[in-house]
């Protein structure tokens, strides 16, 4: 089932955006948008090779229309796991919430 997906901004996602805002001295809204773009772009790129994504962050949720390829992947994952596609996308977005932070680039000794 293709079409737009709306996922809530989880606490994990908000914490990642807060850390992003602190590290880059930026407003909370800008950090939420930046983290949403990073997460969605990583997910879409893995599915299709895309280099841009269009989405909205508003009222505590991300609204995004996945590509047909990503949509098919989300639907397959939803069928396999028994959860809805919004939850599947939320789990992937949350996975990338902490990526690209300064501690993410620390190399072990």
Please state the pTM of the whole predicted model: 0.83
CA distance 45 to 39: 10
**pLDDT at site 101:** 59
The pLDDT assigned to 107 comes to: 46
pLDDT the model gives residue 96 = 86
Residue 100: per-residue pLDDT: 64
Distance from C-alpha of 29 to C-alpha of 34, rounded to nearest angstrom: 9
Residue count of the chain, please give it.
109
Q: What is the pLDDT of residue 79?
A: 96
Per-residue pLDDT of the chain (109 residues; tens, 9 = 90+): 678 999 999 999 999 888 888 888 888 888 889 999 999 999 999 999 999 999 999 989 999 999 999 999 999 999 999 999 999 999 999 988 876 656 554 445 6
25-64 as b/e, with b when 16 or more CB fall inside 10 Å?
eeeeeebbbbbbbbbbbbbbeebeebeebebebeeeebeb
Give the phi and the psi of residue 3 in degrees, each rounded to 5: 125, 175
Describe the crossing of helices 68-81 and 85-95 by its angle, rounded to 10 degrees: 100
């Amino acid at each position: 089932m293709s079409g737009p997906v709306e996922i809530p901004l989880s606490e994990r996602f908000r914490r990642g955006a807060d850390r992003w805002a602190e590290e880059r001295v930026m407003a909370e809204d800008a950090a939420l948008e930046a983290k949403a773009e990073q997460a969605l772009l990583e997910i879409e790129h893995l599915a299709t090779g895309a280099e841009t994504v269009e989405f909205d962050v508003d009222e505590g949720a991300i609204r995004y229309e996945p590509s047909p390829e990503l949509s098919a992947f989300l639907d397959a994952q939803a069928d396999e796991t028994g959860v809805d596609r919004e939850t599947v996308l939320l789990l992937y977005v949350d996975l990338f919430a902490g990526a690209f932070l300064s501690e993410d680039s620390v190399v072990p000794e």
